[in-house]
């Protein structure tokens, strides 16, 4: 199906999220939509998928002007979208969720639905257990389920908004393969929104570049990364250097820590992270690294073993007590864990600051937030609500809420959804923290990021932690072996 967007505009008050965008997408091809954080990518795609109407402009499908009333309406007309934020679903079984999204009749036809679901999964190489409950699925599996639902709904045009943040390398390969199949064999139109230019180059044939709500360039792919980056930012941002690290005293010490959940057991973790050190935890999602991090933050109680922070035994301390003691945790989910949709940036700041007074000094807090907005380069105002920010800007907001000084900083996918320039910038800020003696422990799905930024790395596989590797002497291949469980 050929898609044409004509002079699409979307204004939110004074913000021109989309400012007259026109483009054409032909069937059988994978397109890339790239641009810096807040450029207007998600806004444009939500318009194309019927989630929100444009302020003005036209959408044409196969030359026919259309108007969508809802995402369901758009899907009925052939356009489906996988949203940027992780999907939030009720704790149903997979099959129930699927039926809920699919059938319009009163009677539920389980057998038919199951066949359909399994057939489609098989065609695209997905592995979905229809009887699992949704909350036991990994992010990648939820994504596959949602894709199947869109395909079954008759999507001819598929939009994927940053689909590869937070899924494993394996799931990413499966996803890419399915996207190729959809375009090459089935003639569907696929649009990929992504900040990872390597993926874009590997997968897409044509890129549209947005900046500040406008289309500022288009480009046949593959091309040089610099060409895309220059269009995105107006210039090629220079990569900054990583400052050297001096070994200091240990801050976080785990001693024979065992964690048990009904899904996985993480045995005997011994780990020591020093002041100013950046320590990376690699591994497939659900291999235990997140549990270790949550044990350090007090969100999960270890079944056995001791946790020490700054020399103090903090085993069994609650999250809030640790927070006051100088621990901070930046979770992976933005709007569902970490930020509150509907609260303004200033309100978030008030909640996050340690020295709370009974009456809120709104003026002072608004000023402080305005300062942090400048420091962290957030596109938004103190009185914007968190859900009005673009994905990358939500991530920056999370960082801006961190207090100083910190003994320990725990990060999950710290640069998820950030464009090249901002992730570089965030790392600069993190380096500054390490200079002040903060120990940083972080999880990332991106092996290159781990190798580039860490001092030491541990790899998790099926709950078991590998020996500790020196980041300067390891490669992505070696980490890959450990992830696969080979030692």
Partner 1 sequence: MTEAQTSDRSWLIRLWPLVPIVAALIVTSALLMLFDASPAVAYRAMWDGAFGGQDKFLSVLAFWVPLLLASAGLVVTFTAGLWNIGIEGQIILGAIGASWVALNVTGPAWVLIPLEIGAAMLGGALWAALSAVLKTRGKVNEIFSGLALNNLAIILTNYLISGPWQPPEGGSFRGTTPFQSAALLPRLFESRFSPLSLILAFAAVIAVYYVLRGTTWGLKLKALGKNPYSAYLLGVSSERETILAMMFCGALAGLGGAVRVLSWFDSLRQSISGGIGFLALLVVMLAAYRILWVPIIALFFSIVLNGSITLQLKTQLHSALGGILTGLMVLFVLLFGSAKQLGIGGKPGTAAGVPDVMPDELPAGEIPPELMASSYPEVDVEAIHE
Residues that bind partner 1 (CB under 8 A): 11-14, 51, 55, 70-73, 83, 85-90, 97, 100-102, 146, 149, 319-320, 323, 329, 331, 335-344, 347-348, 350-352, 354, 356-360, 362, 383-385, 387-388, 401
Q: Count of CB atoms within 10 A of residue 232's CB?
A: 25
Out of 302, 391, 414, 463, name the contact with Mg ion by CB under 5 A.
Answer: 391
Name the residue nearer to Mg ion (CB basis): 34 or 259: 34
Candidate segments 151-159, 211-219, 382-390, 433-441, binder of Mg ion by CB under 5 A:
382-390
Query: What ranges make up the beta strands (E) of 132-249?
Result: 157-161, 189-193, 206-211, 214-220
Contacting ligand ATP within 64-103 (CB under 6 A): 84
Q: Which uninterrupted H or E stretch holds 409? A: strand 408-412
Q: Which of 57, 166, 276, 392 binds ligand ATP (CB under 6 A)?
A: 392
DSSP string, 308-330: EETTEE-TT--HHHHHHHTEEEE
- Which residues make Cβ contacts (< 8 Å) with residue 182, sequence separation at least 6? 124, 151, 158, 188, 190
Neighbour count for residue 230 (Cβ, 10 Å)? 15
Q: What gap in Å lies between CA 334 and CA 328, rounded to an integer?
A: 15
For residues 414 and 110, give the distance between their C-alpha atoms in angstroms, rounded to a whole number: 41
406: Cα separation from own chain's centroid: 24
Choose the stretch contacting ligand ATP; rule: CB under 6 A; options: 33-41, 198-206, 219-227, 243-251. Answer: 33-41
Alpha-carbon span 194 to 209, nearest angstrom: 11
Rounded to whole angstroms, the maximal C-alpha distance in the chain is 68
Residue number of the CB atom closest to Mg ion: 42
Pairing of the two strands 265-274 and 56-61? unpaired
266, containing H or E segment: strand 265-274
Write down the least CB distance from residue 161 to Mg ion, Å: 6
d(CA 127, CA 90): 20
Task: Compose the 185-224 pattern: x for residues touching ligand ATP by CB under 6 A, - for all others.
Answer: ----------------------------------------
User: Binding pattern to ligand ATP, positions 125-164, x when CB under 6 A?
Assistant: ----------------------------------------
Q: Rank residues 63 and 354 by Cβ distance to partner 1 and give the closer one.
A: 354
Q: Is 25 helix (H, G, I), strand (E, B) or coil?
A: strand
183: its two tokens: 């375009």
Q: Does 42 bind Mg ion (CB under 5 A)?
A: yes
| Distance in Å, CB of 96 to ligand ATP, minimum | 31
Among the listed residues 192, 195, 296, 191, the one whose alpha carbon sits nearest the alpha carbon of residue 253 = 296
Which of residues 34, 43, 141, 439 is near ligand ATP by CB under 6 A? 43
d(CA 160, CA 73): 18
Residue 175 CB, shortest distance to ligand ATP, in Å, is 19
**Subset of residues 330 to 389 that bind ligand ATP, contact rule: CB under 6 A:** 379-380, 388-389
CB of 276 or CB of 392, closer to partner 1? 392
For the chain, the distance separating the N- and C-terminal CA atoms, rounded to the nearest angstrom, is: 48
Q: How far is the CB of 476 from ligand ATP (least distance, A)?
A: 25
Q: Find the DSSP H helices in 8-124.
A: 41-48, 71-76, 94-102, 110-124
Nearer to ligand ATP by Cβ, of 165 and 289: the residue is 165
User: Which partner from the list ligand ATP, Mg ion, partner 1, none does 39 bind, CB cut-off 5 to 8 Å by kind?
Assistant: ligand ATP
Helical packing angle, 169-184 and 139-152, nearest 10°: 20
- Give the residue with the Cβ less far from partner 1, 209 or 292: 292
Footprint on residues 401-430 left by ligand ATP (CB under 6 A): 417
Closest separation in Å from C-beta 176 to partner 1: 22
Residue among 42 and 194 whose Cβ is closer to Mg ion = 42
Quick check: 297 binds ligand ATP (CB under 6 A)? no
> Residue 314's binding partner, choosing from partner 1, Mg ion, ligand ATP, none, with beta-carbon cut-off 5 to 8 A by kind?
none
Residue 275: beta bridge partners?
none
Quote the DSSP letter at residue 145.
H
> CA 409: distance to chain centroid?
19
The entry of ligand ATP, Mg ion, partner 1, none near residue 393 (CB within 5 to 8 angstroms by kind) is: ligand ATP
* Smaller CB separation from ligand ATP, 390 or 474: 390
| Residues contributing to the site for ligand ATP (CB under 6 A) | 12, 15, 17, 35, 37-43, 84, 379-380, 388-393, 417
């Amino acid at each position: 199906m050929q898609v044409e967007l004509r002079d699409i505009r979307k204004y939110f008050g004074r913000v021109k999220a989309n400012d007259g965008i026109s483009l054409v997408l032909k069937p059988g091809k994978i397109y890339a939509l790239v641009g810096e954080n807040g450029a207007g990518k998600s806004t444009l795609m939500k318009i194309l998928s019927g989630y929100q109407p444009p302020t003005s402009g036209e959408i044409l499908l196969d030359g026919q002007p259309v108007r969508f009333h809802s995402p369901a309406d758009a899907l009925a007309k052939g356009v489906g979208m996988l949203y940027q934020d992780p999907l939030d679903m009720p704790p149903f079984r997979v099959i129930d969720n699927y039926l809920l999204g699919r059938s319009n009749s009163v009677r539920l036809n389980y057998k038919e639905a199951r066949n359909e679901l399994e057939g489609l999964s098989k065609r695209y190489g997905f592995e979905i257990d229809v009887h699992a409950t949704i909350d036991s699925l990994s992010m990648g599996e939820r994504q596959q389920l949602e894709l199947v639902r869109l395909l079954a709904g008759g999507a001819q045009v598929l939009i994927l908004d940053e689909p590869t943040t937070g899924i494993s390398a394996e799931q990413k390969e499966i996803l890419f393969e399915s996207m190729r199949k959809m375009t090459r064999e089935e003639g569907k139109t696929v649009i990929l929104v992504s900040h990872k230019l390597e993926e874009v180059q590997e997968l897409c044939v044509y890129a549209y570049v947005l900046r500040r709500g406008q289309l500022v360039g288009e480009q046949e792919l593959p091309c040089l990364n610099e060409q895309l980056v220059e269009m995105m930012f107006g210039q090629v941002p220079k990569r900054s250097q990583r400052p050297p690290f001096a070994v200091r005293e240990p801050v976080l010490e785990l001693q024979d820590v065992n964690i048990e959940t009904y899904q996985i057991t993480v045995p005997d973790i011994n780990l020591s992270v020093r002041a100013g050190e950046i320590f990376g935890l690699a591994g497939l999602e659900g291999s235990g690294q997140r549990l270790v991090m949550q044990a350090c933050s007090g969100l999960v109680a270890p079944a056995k073993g001791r946790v020490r922070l700054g020399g103090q035994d903090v085993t069994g301390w609650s999250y809030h007590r640790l927070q006051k003691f100088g621990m901070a945790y930046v979770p992976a989910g933005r709007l569902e864990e970490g930020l509150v949709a509907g609260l303004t940036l200033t309100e978030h700041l008030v909640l996050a600051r340690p020295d709370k007074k009974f009456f809120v000094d709104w003026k002072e807090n608004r000023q402080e937030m305005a300062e942090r907005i400048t420091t962290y380069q957030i596109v938004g105002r103190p009185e914007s609500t968190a859900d009005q920010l673009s994905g990358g800007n939500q991530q920056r907001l999370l960082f801006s809420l961190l207090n100083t000084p910190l003994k320990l900083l725990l990060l999950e996918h710290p640069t998820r959804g950030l464009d090249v320039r901002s992730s570089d910038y965030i790392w600069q800020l993190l380096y500054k923290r390490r200079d002040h003696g903060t120990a940083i422990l972080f999880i990332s799905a991106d092996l290159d990021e781990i190798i580039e930024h860490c001092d030491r790395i541990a790899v998790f596989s099926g709950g078991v932690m590998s020996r500790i590797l020196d980041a300067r002497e390891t490669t992505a291949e070696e980490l890959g072996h450990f992830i696969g469980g080979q030692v």
